[in-house]
Amino acid sequence: MASKKSQKRDFHGMSYGEIQRANSKNRSKLKKEDQKWLKDNGYKNAGWDNVITLYRKVEEFLDEPRFEDMSLEELFLEADRIGNKYLTSEEIKEFNQQLSKEVAEIGELVDKQFPDTEIEVIDFSHKTAQKPQKKRNQKTYRTAKL
């Protein structure tokens, strides 16, 4: 009686050993506290199911944004993106309209506080002393402040 050969299993086109190597390599990219968390929560690199769950968890850690490395602007954008998940499209549209209205009002106040009193005139009558360098289709103009 001939025994059937078991089908070779794979996960995302990787064999068991390849997944283990990928886990080891990717786990070393994580911060020490994340590595410790994986160990404390029983994620192991042995056993088919354990290897796959570890692979998924490590990928999750690598994919999540690192807030320590983000600028203040990026943090605000990320917070806005997360907040928008819980709003309907009508609420987002209403908020954006209100925001643009308030920004326009602030712009008007700034223009009133700091008016641009300097007039700028472009003089087309004289050619400039400098010749454009390899920019054949670009015109240059002199400006004179009054």
User: Is there a domain that residue 3 lies in?
Assistant: no
The answer to whether residues 45 and 79 belong to one domain is no
- In percent, the amount of the chain with pLDDT more than 90 equals 25
User: Is there a domain that residue 135 lies in?
Assistant: no
Per the confidence metrics, is the pTM higher than 0.85?
Answer: no
The answer to whether residues 60 and 73 belong to one domain is no
User: Is there a domain that residue 136 lies in?
Assistant: no
User: Is there a domain that residue 47 lies in?
Assistant: yes
pLDDT, residue 105, reads 95
Q: Does the pLDDT of residue 3 top 70, yes or no?
A: no
More confident residue, 45 or 132: 45
The number of domains in the chain is 2
> 52-58: long-range contacts at Cβ-Cβ below 8 A with a sequence spacing of 24 or more?
52/11, 52/19, 54/23, 54/27, 55/11, 55/19, 55/22, 55/23, 55/26, 58/23, 58/26, 58/27, 58/30
pLDDT, residue 48, reads 87
User: Is there a domain that residue 130 lies in?
Assistant: no
User: Is there a domain that residue 143 lies in?
Assistant: no
pLDDT tens-digit profile of 8-30? Answer: 778 888 888 899 999 999 998 88
Q: The domain containing residue 107 runs over which residues? A: 69-113
User: Is there a domain that residue 37 lies in?
Assistant: yes
